Amino acid sequence: MLMPIFCVIGCIHYSKYIPDPEKDIQLWVAHFSHQRSFSYRYTMQTSTVKTQAQGVCVIERGEHVRGTWQQNGHLLPFEYVGIQDREYSKQNDQWVSAPRGEQSDILIQVERLLQFDEFEYQGTNGVYTYHFKANIPFLAPGRWKEMIGVMDVSKQTFLPIKIWAGLPDSSVSWTIELFDYNKKKSIETPRVPWSSYRIQGGGMDWQRSVKDRLGSLDIDHRLEQSSEGLIIRVPEYYTLEDIKSYLGNSTITVYRLTPKKEDAIQIEYLRGDKKVPLFCAETLFTQKDIKNISLKIDPAYRPLVIIKFADKNYFPPEIAVGINGVIQDVAVLDNDQKINTLHLYTNMHYFELQLLKASIMHTLPDLDIKTTSGDFR
C-alpha cells in the first residue's frame, strides 16, 4: 500500500506504508470518526435485558436503527431515526419527535467506549486484536471499574470491525460489528413539519447557486420567491444555524513558509497547536484561484482533499495550507516544474469536507438568512 504524507502532484514522494499495530492504533482509532459512513449490528446483554439491533450511520448527518428488546420473555421491537439534533421513535406505528438521545447516536457510544490511551496489542490472526479498559458503565453500574474490552481492527482498512465490552465473566456485555465503511448512504426520515427561512443577498446571480449548493450536500429543500426574498423550506430538524452553515463561505489559503520568524508577515499554528508555530512569509493562493475540489478515501482509509488550481505555478520549497483560518497541513517540496494540484489531509470530518467543497464549487455572496413564517406571496 502507498501512503502519501502530504502530496503535491508533480513532486510527490510516496513511501510504502508498513503498519505498526503497536504504535499506530491511536491513529486508527482517531480515523474512525473521520469516515463518511458505516453499517453496524450489535447485541447488548445485561442482567435483565437483551437488545439486538442493526443500523446505518452517516457521520455528522444521521442514523437509522431497528431492533428488539427482550425482557422476561417479552419481545418488543423498536425503531429510531436520529438526524441532526432530533430523534424520531416509532410508537404504535406513529413517529414521535424528541431531542436526540444516544439510542440513535451509535457514533457517540463507540467513541466513548474507545476513550482510553492504552490498547494492548494481542497479535494477529487475520485481524489486529487489542485488549483495553472499556468505558461502558451503564451495563453494570456497580461494577463498571471491572469492565474490559476486546477490539478487532481490519488489516485492510485499519478500522475497527468488531468490539466486545463487558465483565470478565461475560454476565453483561455489549458486542458491535462495524462494516460497509464509506458506502454512499442516505437516511430515510419520517414525514415531519417543515421550517421556513428567508434569504437575501446582493451582487451576483446567486439564487441558482443556493439550489446547487444544497443539492450537492443532499439537503432536502424547496425554494420559492416571495416579496421578502428567496424562501427556503427544509425539514424541521434543520435549524437556522444549520442553514447558515450550509450557505456560508469557506476559505482556503496557501502560504509560503520561511524558517525565520523575522521574515514572517504572520504566525500561524499547525491545527491550532501552539507548540507547532509556522512562519508565513506570504499568501500564494486562495479559494479564488481554485478550479476544482474533489474528495476521496485513500488506501489507508483517510479522507483526502484534492485541490486543483486554475493555473500551473511554481511552488516554493515549503508551504502550508489553511482551511477556514486553521493550518491543516504543511509540505516540504522538491520540485522545479509548474504544478496545479495539491493533495491535502486534514483533521476534519468528512461532512465538513463536503461543506468545504460545496462552498468552493458553488460560490455565494454573504447572505442574510432569517426565520420566517413561510407565508409566501
Is position 185 within any domain?
no
Per residue in 269-292, pLDDT (tens digit) is 999 999 999 999 999 999 999 999
- Residue 220: what pLDDT? 95
> Phi and psi at residue 29, in whole multiples of 5°?
-65, -40
> Phi and psi at residue 122, in whole multiples of 5°?
-105, -5
171 and 262 share one domain? no
pLDDT band at 118 (very low <50, low <70, confident <90, very high): confident
> Looking at the predicted structure, is the pLDDT value of residue 17 above 80?
no
Is position 161 within any domain?
yes
Task: Tell me which of 146, 179, 212 is where a domain ends.
Answer: 179
Per residue in 307-345, pLDDT (tens digit) is 999 999 888 989 999 999 999 989 887 767 788 998 888
> Looking at the predicted structure, is the pLDDT value of residue 8 above 90?
no
Whole-prediction pTM: 0.89
- Residue 218: what pLDDT? 94
226 and 339 share one domain? yes
270 and 163 share one domain? no
Task: Tell me which of 145, 179, 213 is where a domain ends.
Answer: 179
Is position 188 within any domain?
no
53 and 82 share one domain? yes
Task: Tell me which of 179, 203, 232 is where a domain ends.
Answer: 179
Per residue in 45-66, pLDDT (tens digit) is 988 899 999 999 999 999 999 9
105 and 234 share one domain? no
Tell me how far CA of residue 278 lies from CA of 130, 152, 250, 264, 266, in angstroms: 37, 38, 21, 9, 9
Among 125-134, 135-144, 157-166, 317-326, the minimum mean pLDDT is found in 135-144
**Could you tell me which residues are beta bridge partners of residue 267?**
279
115 and 203 share one domain? no
> Looking at the predicted structure, is the pLDDT value of residue 9 above 50?
no
Spatial separation of the C-alpha atoms in residues 253 and 320, rounded to whole Å: 8
Instruction: Report the CATH number at residue 120.
Output: 2.50.20.20
Among 12-21, 324-333, 352-361, the minimum mean pLDDT is found in 12-21
88 and 159 share one domain? yes
Q: Which residue has the higher pLDDT, 144 or 338?
A: 338
284 and 309 share one domain? yes
Number of domain units in the chain: 2
Spatial separation of the C-alpha atoms in residues 344 and 127, rounded to whole Å: 29
Q: Where are the alpha helices (DSSP H) in the chain?
A: 25-32, 106-113, 207-216, 240-246, 350-361
Is position 266 within any domain?
yes
Spatial separation of the C-alpha atoms in residues 150 and 125, rounded to whole Å: 14
Q: Which residue has the higher pLDDT, 197 or 47?
A: 197
174 and 197 share one domain? no
Is position 150 within any domain?
yes
Is position 87 within any domain?
yes
135 and 237 share one domain? no
Instruction: Report the CATH number at residue 208.
Output: 3.30.1360.200
Domain region containing 292:
1-17+193-377
- Residue 117: what pLDDT? 67
161 and 61 share one domain? yes
Is position 330 within any domain?
yes
**Average pLDDT for residues 79-95, to the nearest whole number?**
93
124 and 54 share one domain? yes
